[in-house]
């Protein structure tokens, strides 16, 4: 029995599954990750110039231009086999909670319901009245404005900002109560999301890390590493579920 077969068998009997995803799951859809050496966004741009409240206060147009460029990439992208496999897992095992750090909305496009810890690139919110609405790359006015007349900002959690407490509470509850925790395509460097697999491991869940590179990932007796692309590993994990 291979490691993948063993994990697949455990998933077949699990009733509560938590899944944490990061930029790596969308890499096969053509969306750049953040920290990979040559291609990651943070190797080409400085987060403090583009993804912080100070940057937006200094130069909202530059920040919006960057999000518009990223939104164009997202609008051209389609969910891949990894997103689809997770959506299928949620359908087959209703106690599956998906927690994503991604803002691209590709999980939802694949049919998943997800806790979006870092917000959504498809939504904007008003800097004055805090109303939220969808925005598109061809808004008549750019940076886009709210109905109240004030400037909108991307509805994304920037460096130095707090995550939604309600969403965080749901994510922690899922990590605390799951039988199996899948950590997929994340460098696990950004808190508080990076704590979630540890919480699950401390509660004796099986933690499964799926990543192309295992540097810096969790190591413990109940942590299994499946090295490979999410779009290839995840469908293989689900095969026994499909036949059960």
Binding span for ligand OAD by CB under 6 A among 5-13, 62-70, 164-172, 210-218: 210-218
State which of residues 14, 18, 27, 238 lies at the interface with ligand OAD (CB under 6 A).
27
Q: Is the peptide bond before 143 cis (omega within 30 degrees of 0)?
A: yes
| Percent helix, percent strand, percent coil in the chain, to nearest 5 | 40, 20, 40
- Spot the catalytic one: 83, 107, 118, 218: 118
The residue from 128, 148, 213, 220 that contacts ligand OAD (CB under 6 A) is: 213
Region of 19-27, 67-75, 125-133, 173-181 interacting with ligand OAD (CB under 6 A) = 19-27
Residue tagged 């109905």 (tokens) = 147
| Least distance from ligand OAD to the Cβ atom of residue 108, Å | 16
For 137, other C-beta atoms within 10 Å of its C-beta total: 13
Q: Does 84 bind ligand OAD (CB under 6 A)?
A: no
Q: Stretches 17-25, 70-78, 172-180, 219-227: which one binds ligand OAD (CB under 6 A)?
A: 17-25
**Per-residue CA distances from 148 to 52, 58, 76 (Å):** 24, 22, 31
The conformation of residue 164, written as its DSSP 8-state character, comes to P
197 binds ligand OAD (CB under 6 A): no
Q: Which of 205, 207, 230, 237 binds ligand OAD (CB under 6 A)?
A: 230
Q: Considering the complex, state which of residue 195 and residue 212 has its C-beta at the smaller distance from ligand OAD.
A: 212
Contact 186, 160 (CB under 8 A): no
Of the two residues 125 and 145, which places its CB atom closer to ligand OAD in the complex?
A: 125
Q: Tell me: does residue 29 bind ligand OAD (CB under 6 A).
A: no
Q: Is 219 a catalytic residue?
A: no
Site membership for ligand OAD, residue 105 (CB under 6 A): no
- Give Cα separations from 35 to 6, 45, 46, 94, 156 (angstroms): 31, 11, 11, 33, 18
One DSSP character per residue, 69-118 reads: HHHHHHHH----HHHHHHHHHHHH-TTEEEEE---S-HHHHTT---EETT
Q: Which of residues 107-166 bind ligand OAD (CB under 6 A)?
A: 118, 157
Rounded to whole angstroms, how far apart are CA atoms 30 and 71?
Answer: 12
Q: Which two tokens stand for residue 166?
A: 């309600």
Q: Is 187 in the site for ligand OAD (CB under 6 A)?
A: yes
Question: What angle do helix axes 81-92 and 230-243 make, rounded to 10 degrees?
Answer: 30
Among 33, 90, 112, 127, binds ligand OAD (CB under 6 A): 33
User: Rule CB under 6 A: which residues touch ligand OAD?
Assistant: 22-24, 27-28, 33-36, 40, 51, 101, 118, 157, 185-187, 189-190, 210-213, 229-230
């Amino acid at each position: 029995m291979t490691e993948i077969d063993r994990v697949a068998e455990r998933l077949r009997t699990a009733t509560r599954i938590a899944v944490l995803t990061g930029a790596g799951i969308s890499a096969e859809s053509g969306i750049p990750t953040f920290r990979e050496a040559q291609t990651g966004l943070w190797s080409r741009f400085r987060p403090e110039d583009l993804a912080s409240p100070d940057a937006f206060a200094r130069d909202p147009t530059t920040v919006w231009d960057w999000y518009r460029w990223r939104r164009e990439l997202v609008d051209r992208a389609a969910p891949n086999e990894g997103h689809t496999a997770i959506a299928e897992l949620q359908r087959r095992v209703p106690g599956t909670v998906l927690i994503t750090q991604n803002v691209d909305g590709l999980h939802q496009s694949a049919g998943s319901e997800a806790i979006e810890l870092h917000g959504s690139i498809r939504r904007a919110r008003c800097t004055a009245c805090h109303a939220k609405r969808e925005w598109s790359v061809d808004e008549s006015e750019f940076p886009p404005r709210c109905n109240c007349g004030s400037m909108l900002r991307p509805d994304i959690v920037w460096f130095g900002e707090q995550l939604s407490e309600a969403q965080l509470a749901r994510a922690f509850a899922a990590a605390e109560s799951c039988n199996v925790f899948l950590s997929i395509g994340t460098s696990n460097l950004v808190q508080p999301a990076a704590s979630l697999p540890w919480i699950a491991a401390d509660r004796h869940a099986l933690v499964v890390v799926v990543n192309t590179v295992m540097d810096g990932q969790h190591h413990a007796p109940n942590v299994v590493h499946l090295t490979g692309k999410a779009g290839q590993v995840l469908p293989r994990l689900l095969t026994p579920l499909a036949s059960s």
